[in-house]
Amino acid sequence: MAETERVLSEKTLAIITGLQQNEVTERHIYLNLAKRVKKESDKATLRRIAGEEAKHAEIWRRYTKKQLKPEWLKVWFYTIISFVLGYTFAIKIMEKGEKVAQSNYADLVEEVPEAEMILKEEAEHEEALISMLDEDRLQYVGSMVLGLNDALVELTGTLAGLSFALQNNRIVALSGLITGISATLSMASSEYLSARSEGNKDAVKSALYTGIMYIFAVVCLVLPYLLYPAGQFLGALLTMLLVVIAIIFAFTYYISVAKDLPFKKRFLEMAGISLSVAVLSFLVGFLVKHLLGIDV
């Protein structure tokens, strides 16, 4: 093929080799994901994307004259990520990294004119296919957000208020666990009844996702009060607030990637609400302790 016999610069050849390596590796990632996905429609979609990757790898191979092997460490990394956070999240993270790399391909187009068409076609095809994915856990994002938001706001405020009012980490932890477990059962029950009233056949799943996220937040927020000595309530409080910010950051990033939503605005809004409630609750604890003259 005349087009593929042209002499390419070392820089262009390096870019094309990188593209080929990505396509070969990502083909195996998609095939790996297809093996563990339960939905037949998603299995078919992932196999179709793998087929697209194989076609693109073959196009680049005509230029590099190399038969590359997949980067197995990368394959297993994304496989593990998909197991923990879901295959939709893993795929979108992978594709975001690829788009960043493609921003440096201006020189490639000058020497390989059809490269622009190939890259554009690849982006369009994969974006269309990825939008077809229908992962179960993403259908319950609303329930997850409800459970996590409520837990962070309520528990952050409760623990901050109790920290100054009681000034004893063990008692704060005990109070936080009792409050948190009771609130988890209450929130899960409320979500179940709400979903049932709306005719949702998967009301139990919605309630479970809400409850799981709530109890996860309870454990993370109470843990600092169990790790610090009983009298170091300020250290436990500050650590708890850092944990809150870390959870908000991680969860907001996950949702923004999986659902293609803006990250910064959602993170600042949620963090601002949780920290504001904590400050107000801490002040309430201070006032209650001194106005009522309670000393624990």
Q: Give yes or no for residue 130 having a pLDDT over 60.
A: yes
Structure letter (DSSP) for residue 69: P
21-68 per-position pLDDT tens digit: 988 998 999 898 888 787 788 888 888 888 888 888 888 888 888 889
Q: Is the dihedral of CA 51, 112, 74, 256 positive or negative?
A: negative
Cα–Cα distance for residue pair 155/241, rounded to 1 Å: 11
Mean pLDDT of all residues in 208-212? 83
Both structure tokens of 78: 């994304």
Q: Give yes or no for residue 6 having a pLDDT over 70.
A: no
Q: What is the pLDDT of residue 25?
A: 92
pTM of the model: 0.68
pLDDT band at residue 70 using 50, 70 and 90 as cut-offs: very high
Q: What is the pLDDT of residue 24?
A: 92
Q: What is the pLDDT of residue 3?
A: 46
Residue 133 near residue 94, CB atoms below 8 Å? no
Domains in the chain, CATH or no CATH each: 2-136 (1.20.1260), 140-292 (no CATH)
As a 3-state breakdown, the chain gives helix, strand, coil percent values, each rounded to 5, of 85, 0, 15
Residue 278 near residue 156, CB atoms below 8 Å? yes
pLDDT band at residue 224 using 50, 70 and 90 as cut-offs: very high
